[in-house]
Structure 1
Amino acid sequence: MADPDINPQMENDEQKNYGVLLYYKYAAIPDLQSLFDFYHSNCTSLSLLGRVRLSSHGVNVTVGGRLRALEEHIEAVKSNALFEGTDFKLASCLEPLDDQVARECGFTSLSIRIVKELVTLNSHPLLKSPEISDAGRHLSAAEFHSVLQNAGKCEEKSAGSDKKLILLDARNLYETRIGKFDAPDVKTLDPEIRQYSDLPSWIDNNSEQLRGNNILMYCTGGIRCEMASAYIRSKGAGFENVFQ
């Protein structure tokens, strides 16, 4: 017998609500196999699809599924002290993705892997990745917006200084074609890279455009800015002011 307190229409609407969840966390993982088992069990039981990458220094997750299942997943992850302070980016949609979009975004299966690096900044095996502890300062969405909106005013006040605000897009060509920030008073640099591992070379070749300026970076989920901002700051004097 149906529960009279449950509205069938509301229940049906909830079942149609889908979403996409992105999050990452840099932290020392003491037991990778245990964490792997958690993700496999949790994501499978909640019918979540997508990609989970685990390494000894953190996790990088992009999964999709029913909105309620994603919310349950977030609560389960939050119960682990390792994920304290994690920024969960959850976007909802009313209908499931069509097959073509699902294939393009990787939501046709669940892939969980233990990897050496969460993101590969440089494909050269002999080059050491920068220290993530040296990453640029985090800004909230409101702070990021405020910096862009007030860029022209700030530069007018500091007319005697050559320091400017540079907006650096850390995404690849495919992503930038979908859309990008438009800030009239801010110099925007789009590296037009095909893959993330091309970014260090672009930074090296364009370092003079960055030197001595305030660099505001953005990507899709945030994790690429972590490593890229650390790489910029590792260049030393003149590259300290990096924000993400």
Structure 2
Amino acid sequence: MILNIAAYQFVPIDDPDALASRLREQAGARALLGSVLIAEEGINLFLAGADAGVESFVTELRADPRFADIVIKRSRSDTQPFARLKIRVKPEIISFRQAEAKPLARRAPAVSPVDLARWIAQGQDDQGKRLLLLDTRNQQEVVYGSFSGAMTLPIDKFTDLPKALAENRDALDGATVVSFCTGGIRCEKAALWMEAEGIENVYQLDGGILGYFEQIGGFGYEGQCFVFDERVALDSELRPLVGGESELADS
């Protein structure tokens, strides 16, 4: 079977082009396929290949002090879900274009999958506040599944979220808001932006949906989680659907 990894980290990168060149060589030497986005704010990667190649790549990546603590999410597939290796330098590792959402400066409060599962079971947080789960993903992803009762927005790309959320601002009043996304990167920026906008009691789901599946399973979640490769979507046991085609997108 193929080992798939997904990871991101917000960390200052003073020479993104040099890092891109190095990772291209390291991934290519191990016959890994997938996508890596690099920006001055960090790295975002989805890669797949043989176990030995993937794990040695991770070991070498973590040898760089900037990525020593990078969190890796692992899953399996019967076939290689990527057609090629793409390593690109971008202005952001996920396009949002909001000056207030700068994870290099600080991180918004996070809730662990274990704590969120408890909140879902209670229908409220530990202080008794109403729980509102906010899906920050695009509507094309949401159709595959989401947390039960979550607020979803009619957006086609992440940069549309601020306007769409402004039109639903009243629904957030008095609630504990937990933003979530596939792996954590979008909900991390979204939570920071919401705090800057004066929205109170905002959290991000640590590790996103995939991290929740890994630790908890499907409790409180309906359907699958869309992923940006040929597996299309993963169920709560991180098993892929068959067929389809997609790409890592910075939207």
Give TM-score scaled by structure 2 length: 0.74
Corresponding residue of 1:131: 102
- Match 2:8 to one of 5, 24, 37: 24
Corresponding residue of 2:195: 233
Task: Give the aligned CA root-mean-square deviation in angstroms.
Answer: 2.1
Deviations 1:10-64 (A, max 9, x none): xxxxxxx202211111011133233112211111011111111111110111112
Corresponding residue of 1:59: 43
* Cα pair 2:138 2:154 within 8 Å, conserved: yes
* Cα pair 2:136 2:187 within 8 Å, conserved: yes
Which deviates the most, 108-117 or 138-147?
138-147
* Cα pair 1:23 1:60 within 8 Å, conserved: yes
* Cα pair 2:179 2:202 within 8 Å, conserved: no
C-alpha spacing 1:181/1:23, structure 2 compared with 1 (3 Å): same
Aligned length: 204
Corresponding residue of 1:150: 122
* Cα pair 1:134 1:234 within 8 Å, conserved: no
- Give the secondary-structure state (helix, strand or coil) at the position aligned to 2:57: helix
Query: 1:151: how far off?
Result: 2.5
Give TM-score scaled by structure 1 length: 0.76
Q: Distance in 1 between matches of 2:29 and 2:112?
A: 33
Matched, 1:96 2:79: yes
1:5-44 to structure 2, matched below 5 A, reads 17-44=1-28
**Unpaired runs of at least 5, structure 1:** 1-16
Corresponding residue of 1:209: 171
C-alpha spacing 1:170/1:96, structure 2 compared with 1 (3 Å): same
Q: Distance in 2 between matches of 1:131 and 1:32?
A: 17
- Match 2:143 to one of 177, 183, 201: 177
The answer to which structure has the higher helix fraction is 1
Q: Distance in 2 between matches of 1:32 and 1:134?
A: 21
- Give the secondary-structure state (helix, strand or coil) at the position aligned to 2:166: helix
Corresponding residue of 1:5: none
Deviations 1:115-134 (A, max 9, x none): 11111114xxxx63522245
Deviations 1:192-236 (A, max 9, x none): 322111111112211121133211121111111111111111112
Corresponding residue of 2:208: none
Higher gyration radius (CA): 1
* Cα pair 2:188 2:204 within 8 Å, conserved: no
- Give the secondary-structure state (helix, strand or coil) at the position aligned to 1:188: coil
Residue type at the aligned position of 2:116: F
Q: Distance in 1 between matches of 2:46 and 2:4?
A: 7
- Give the secondary-structure state (helix, strand or coil) at the position aligned to 1:59: strand
- Give the secondary-structure state (helix, strand or coil) at the position aligned to 1:82: helix
* Cα pair 2:100 2:192 within 8 Å, conserved: no
Q: Distance in 1 between matches of 2:106 and 2:136?
A: 17
